[in-house]
């Protein structure tokens, strides 16, 4: 698995970026995340039960990522067309503010080392990437356990301080 201190892999993937007719899709590459912090989170499959709870939570907290000058991108192995259909049919996903990356070839999830071996679907993985494209945080949950988005934001805050942060550190507290 790609881990802390490694360069995030090169990629070129289609994504759903809007629900406006004719502007739903965009090709995303490393150039789209260069120079800013990025949180890229993966879910196993569209049209499932735990996944929309996470996606909705990331969306509710989108402004928190924006305040931190951070790209937010969601991804799965489903196609951009499946992403679009899911967004169109799920009330909680209609107004997403971040792109849904489509890794239909599974090349990026494979290179990241986050494919579940039996079914070849992505684990619930979260990568925090610095402005130079270096992975600074990785967390991976099993297929049945959702993430805590507030903890992702807390870790991002800690990383952005550039300081040593003690256990249970919260923004506004002293660093070491």
Considering the candidates 15, 16, 28, 51, report the single residue annotated as catalytic. Answer: 51
How far apart CA 71 and CA 91 sit, in angstroms, is 23
Is 51 known to be catalytic?
A: yes
144 Cβ neighbours under 8 A, 6+ residues apart: 50
The torsion of the CA quartet 7, 12, 16, 21, rounded to 10 degrees, works out to 150
- SS3 (DSSP) at 69: coil
Helices (H) and strands (E) in the chain, counts: 5, 7
Residues catalogued as catalytic: 51
């Amino acid at each position: 698995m790609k881990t802390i201190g490694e360069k995030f892999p090169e990629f070129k993937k289609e994504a759903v970026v809007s629900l406006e007719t004719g502007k739903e899709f965009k090709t995303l590459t490393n150039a789209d995340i260069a120079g800013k912090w990025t949180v890229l989170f993966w879910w196993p499959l569209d049209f499932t039960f735990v996944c929309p709870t996470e996606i909705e939570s990331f969306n509710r907290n989108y402004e928190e990522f924006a305040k931190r000058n951070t790209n937010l991108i969601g991804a799965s192995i489903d196609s951009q067309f499946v992403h679009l259909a899911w967004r169109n049919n799920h009330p909680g996903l209609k107004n997403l503010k971040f792109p849904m990356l489509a890794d239909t070839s599974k090349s990026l999830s494979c290179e990241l080392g986050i494919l579940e071996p039996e079914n070849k679907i992505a684990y619930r993985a979260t990568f925090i990437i610095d402005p130079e494209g270096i992975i600074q945080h990785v967390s991976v949950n099993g297929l049945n356990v959702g993430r805590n988005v507030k903890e992702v934001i807390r870790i991002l805050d800690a990383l952005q301080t550039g300081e040593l942060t003690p256990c249970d550190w919260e923004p506004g507290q002293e660093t070491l």
